[in-house]
Amino acid sequence: MRAERQLSVVFLTAAVGPGTRAAPFGAARVASALKADPALKGRIRVSLIEGLSDESPEAIADRAMALRPDVVGLSLYSWNSGLLEAAGSLLKARLPGLTLVAGGPNASADPDRLAAGVIIDIVVSGEGEEAMARIVRDIADGRQSPGNPSPGRVVKAPLLDPARLASPWLDGTLDPGAWGGAALELTRGCPYRCAFCFESKGEARLRRFPLEVAAKELASFEKAGQTGPGVEEVFVLDPTFNADSRRMAEAVRVFRERGPSLRYFLELRAELLTAEQARLLSTIDCSVQIGLQSSDPSVLGLVNRKFDPEPFSKKLRLLDEEGIVYGLDLIYGLPGDSLPGFKRSLDYALGLGPNHLDVFRLAVLPGTALYDGADGRGLERDDRAPYLVRSTPTFKAAELDAAERLAKAVEILYNRGRAVMWFRSVAVLAKARPSTLVARFADYLDAAAPRGAAPGDDVPGDDVLGDDVLGDDASHRSIEEAQLGFLRALFAEKPPKVAGAADAALELVRVSGAWTRAFAEGERTELDLGWSPEDVLDYAMADIEEFASEARKAPGRWVCEPGPEGPRFKKVGAPRRGPGRA
């Protein structure tokens, strides 16, 4: 008897870029569901094509062609929809019998657009694990001819029981050590109704994945580190990790017991945070991300969020008291916001001293409450992914571009420049609001751009306020040199009243930079300093002018290097080039 030919099912994915979060987890969930289906056992071959958002559709299509696919699933997100749809179109042209299925968040958000085209055969709107299994079963059983489904059919997928879903980390679909990071899905659904989020019209009930499965996944992550590169970061997929204190405590216990050497990235709601939760988080290696979005309660009220600045800052102090690293999110272009309002939000957020501040232009995503009311609010936006807002009645196009320029400067100066240890004290010394300091840094980088490049030109010199000045792959040392050059120019223009304060500020930048390189990269740095680096970190961070006027000078050459208990400084002799210079 002739053996039945196996169907080749191929999923196309494309991450934003390489890194610890590049694993194609969403597509892998669906692939695992196909592998676990008893009716498909031995009848299918499932493959994942991992692309990046800057690849060409031809390159991705060519890799898929080598697998001779019968069914191709597109794992669509806002950043990759255009790329993967183009790759799918190329495959359809080459393989007339191919069935092309669109799934993922962008398919759920905008199924009608995809179904109206001539490329996609089936669109899965909703959770795709069981829906895709039914589609493949129908093709395998002959109930649907490959390449000839109902054109543009939309399948409304139901909500699923997480306990019934197979784990791609445990069935071999994904290798935990391949990306240096792994997603740990704990929850689906969200009790909040933020108008700009997909969940604004989603399921409010939280559906939990069993912690017993999470424990096994964490054990596999730990094992990966024993036999290979290992897992540096576990990205916990739960947008409201602290919504249920009891569940949170159980999860943290599992983290400690089954993944004690792992670092966890968590998303919290600040208004729910308690001192006990902060203490609990201090028992694991973690960083926390919190959605601020704006510091204007009236703006947030328009997108169905509540905010009170004073209680919010008090909640974050709970994290500070426990030594927990946290970052904040800001969005510019929200309904009712303006450029001055965004600057005030920037001042508020940077004034809190987050470890990093992620700033985004508003995306008016299909499938959200904000999208449904966009025309009535006068939100002009892109009609294709990533659906960015282009103008609002209170935030005109040129003002949005100005906000984008500030966002890029924050990314360089504050995030990649690791400025959290010195930014607030330097802003106080400069007598400048945080947003003003950021804007002045943007001006400084523009001035350093190639000759002939005007601020705002789409040329090298403006992408990060200058690809040729500080590109995406610029080292921290290079960014630090730009920070120091900027501050020298700033203080030369307007010297501090206290003698030596400018020198102390520069030393604070250099000492904190050396400390973070020793901590993050294990790098050794030699420094010529005018003060003891421990004194600089202990006292200048609080008040640079007071430090400069009261601290005893201790000129010397110092080394900062990693140590068993963290970075350490060691004096190695007299300064070679004089204090205050690298």
Q: What is the pLDDT of residue 109?
A: 86
pLDDT at 121: 93
Sequential DSSP letters for 44-73:
EEEEEEEEETTS-HHHHHHHHHTT--SEEE
Q: What is the pLDDT of residues 112-165, one digit of tens each?
A: 888 988 789 999 999 999 999 999 999 998 877 665 555 568 999 989 999 999
How far is the C-alpha of 514 from the C-alpha of 293, rounded, in Å? 32
Instruction: Please give the helix or strand (H or E) that residue 142 lies within, else none.
Output: none
What would the pLDDT profile of 270-314 be if each residue is shown by its tens digit? 999 999 999 999 999 999 999 999 999 999 999 999 999 999 999
Backbone angles phi, psi at 540, to 5 degrees: -70, -30
Q: Indicate the burial class of 367 (C-beta count within 10 angstroms; 0-12, 13-18, 19 or more).
A: buried
CA distance 387 to 371: 10
pLDDT tens, residue by residue, 18-41: 888 999 999 999 999 999 999 999
Which residues does 114 contact at the CB level (< 8 Å), separation at least 6? 85, 102, 107, 120, 123, 152
What confidence score (pLDDT) does residue 222 get? 92
Give CA 183 to chain center in angstroms.
13
Q: What is the pLDDT of residue 461?
A: 34
The tokens of 37 are what?
């289906």
Write down the pLDDT at residue 116: 87
Q: State the Cα angle at 483 between 480 and 488, rounded to 5°.
A: 125
State the chain's mean pLDDT as an integer.
Answer: 91
Res. 507 pLDDT band, cuts 50 70 90: very high
Q: For 6, which DSSP code? A: P
State the average pLDDT over residues 360-378.
92
Check if the beta carbon of residue 555 is closer than 8 Å to that of residue 575. yes
| Burial class, 577, CB count within 10 angstroms (exposed 0-12 / middle 13-18 / buried 19+) | exposed
pLDDT digits (tens, 9 = 90+) for 192-227: 888 998 765 666 688 999 999 999 999 999 998 777
**Residue 352 reports pLDDT greater than 60:** yes
Which tens digits make up the pLDDT trace of 389-448? 999 999 999 999 999 999 999 999 999 999 999 999 999 999 999 999 999 999 999 998
- Assess contact for 131 and 32: CB atoms under 8 A: no
pLDDT, residue 229, reads: 75
First to last CA, the chain: 78
Rounded to the nearest 5 degrees, what angle is found at the Cα of 151, between the Cα atoms of 64 and 75? 40
Q: Which residues contact 62 (CB under 8 A, 6 or more apart)?
A: none
Please give the full DSSP string across 266-324, using - where no structure is assigned: EEE-GGG--HHHHHHHTTS-EEEEEEEE-S-HHHHHTTT----HHHHHHHHHHHHHTT-
Provide, rounded to the nearest whole percent, the portion of the chain with pLDDT above 90.
79
- The neighbouring-strand residues paired with 124 are 155
Distance, in Å, from the CA atom of 272 to the CA atom of 315, rounded to the nearest integer, reads: 8
> What is residue 208's DSSP assignment?
E
